[in-house]
Structure 1
Amino acid sequence: WVLGGFVVALIAVLIASFKPHTAKIAAPIYALAEGIVLGAISRAYSEMYDGIVTQAIGATMGVFIVMLLLYRSGVVKVTNKFRRIVMGATLGLLGFYLISFVIGIFAGYPSFINDASPLGIGFSVLVAGLAAFHLALDFDTIEQGVANKLPAHMEWFCALGLTVTLVWLYLEILRLLSKLREN
């Protein structure tokens, strides 16, 4: 179920990314599929660490609220430079994950990104921070969509983007909390 849910969620996001007018259909499909995936992942973490899911949900909500307040107050401003830096860092992260995965296959040992060492914890903090900065990008995309009176299907598209970011942030916080509990 988990792998199937992940594949369905990924396909839904990819279709909506390339054809935003399909987001009205893709967003609920993503939510359902990702709900299955998150439920299974959350249950696994909950069985290993008592109360961790509640902490991760609370921390995710807290980061969301803080980032929204920072964005609305103008402390965090989404400029073209900010957008380029965040997107560049995200592409770098994806490349790093891919390289770590390939090295892990051939070297036969897991990368530091999964362990509870200070380096692994620091990495998780950086990735969660990057996910938080993506919230600012989502807020800006939503605000620009409203200001430019984009078509109604873009509401679904923006909501899907925000949901994907929140899921990413939740998973990163969950991983970080599990690493902190191992120390």
Structure 2
Amino acid sequence: MESRNPFFNTKSYKESETVHDAVLIDYNQTMTLNGTINKSFLLLVLLVGGAVITWMMINAGYNPLILVFGGAIVGLIAVLVASFKPAWSPFLAPGYAVFEGLFIGGVSAYFEAAYPGIVIQAVGATFITFFICLALYKYQVVKVTEKFRSVVVAATLAIAAYYLISWLISLFTNFQPVHHGHSLMSIGISVFVIVIAALNLFLDFDQIEKGIANRMPKYMEWFGAMGLMVTLVWLYIEFLRLLSKISSRD
């Protein structure tokens, strides 16, 4: 079982591991840590740029609903296409970042209007979590074993199934999902989801490290950066949800 990110559990990603196993290797055309880091920062900048667009539109009194939902849909499509066509990642990854940014900006503006100051708290919590997980992984405090991977993936799939089933039921009935509202149970669920999202970061780090060790092709830097961005976006959204629940209890 592999990472929750669709980028890291596809046949295409695994097959790419042997692309550069030839005797003569051009290391300028293989995946590197610096290259992946640089592309991750670039995607982050593009995502923030997209978020600023819808954020400013809302603050100016416009309704960017089409951009918000359109960004979410296009971002999802980019993720699905890249998962099957990793070689297209140099084009899909920047597009994903921009369109996902449109979605994030709209969602963030909505939460900020309801709970002033929540966005900066969620951003701070996301990056603090990221760097803590990175440090724990770098210094091997947390090691990604097959058992660790299996537990995290199983928990992630359970969360996805729960969210999907709850959403489908709520469409046709008056059912109120347990994770809605600001009850202690709902807050506990959000904390659990955040923990699982954070654990997915370890799987992402591990897959990127393996990709570099296996001398995967250069375009996999975009692939790895895009996958990491997917997890960070998920983590950020979950922090927004948790903080909003806590604030609504005050």
Fold equivalence (TM over 0.5): yes
Are 2:18 and 1:18 aligned?
Answer: no
Quote the offset at 1:56 in angstroms: 0.4
Higher relative contact order (CA 8 A, sep 6+): 2
Quote the Cα distance in structure 2 between the aligned partners of 1:107 and 1:97.
15
Residues 11-50 of structure 1 aligned to structure 2 (within 5 Å): 11-50=77-116
Counterpart for residue 125 of structure 1: 191
Counterpart for residue 69 of structure 1: 135
Segments of structure 1 that go 5 or more residues without pairing to the other structure are none
- Mean alpha-carbon deviation: is it higher for 111-120 or for 4-13? 111-120
* Secondary structure of the structure 2 residue equivalent to 1:90: helix
* Secondary structure of the structure 2 residue equivalent to 1:162: helix
Residues 12-161 of structure 1 aligned to structure 2 (within 5 Å): 12-161=78-227
Quote the Cα distance in structure 1 between the aligned partners of 2:152 and 2:86.
22
Residue type of the partner of 2:117? G
- Give the share of equivalent positions with the same residue, in percent: 51
* Secondary structure of the structure 2 residue equivalent to 1:114: coil
Quote the Cα distance in structure 1 between the aligned partners of 2:171 and 2:71.
24
* Secondary structure of the structure 2 residue equivalent to 1:112: coil
Quote the Cα distance in structure 2 between the aligned partners of 1:85 and 1:153.
30
Q: How many residues align?
A: 183
Aligned match of 1:7 in 73, 77, 87?
Answer: 73
Counterpart for residue 51 of structure 2: none
- Mean alpha-carbon deviation: is it higher for 63-72 or for 74-83? 74-83
Quote the offset at 1:68 in angstroms: 0.4
Quote the Cα distance in structure 1 between the aligned partners of 2:122 and 2:161.
26
* Secondary structure of the structure 1 residue equivalent to 2:179: helix
Q: Deviations over 1:24-59 (max 9, x none)?
A: 111001000011000000011110111100000000
| Bigger fraction of residues in helix | 1
- Mean alpha-carbon deviation: is it higher for 98-107 or for 30-39? 98-107
Are 2:208 and 1:181 aligned?
Answer: no
Quote the offset at 1:140 in angstroms: 0.5
Q: Deviations over 1:55-108 (max 9, x none)?
A: 000000100010001111111111111111111111111111122112222331
Quote the Cα distance in structure 2 between the aligned partners of 1:174 and 1:62.
14
Quote the offset at 1:119 in angstroms: 0.7
**Runs of 4+ that moved beyond 3 A:** none
Quote the Cα distance in structure 2 between the aligned partners of 1:38 and 1:98.
20
Residue type of the partner of 1:104? S
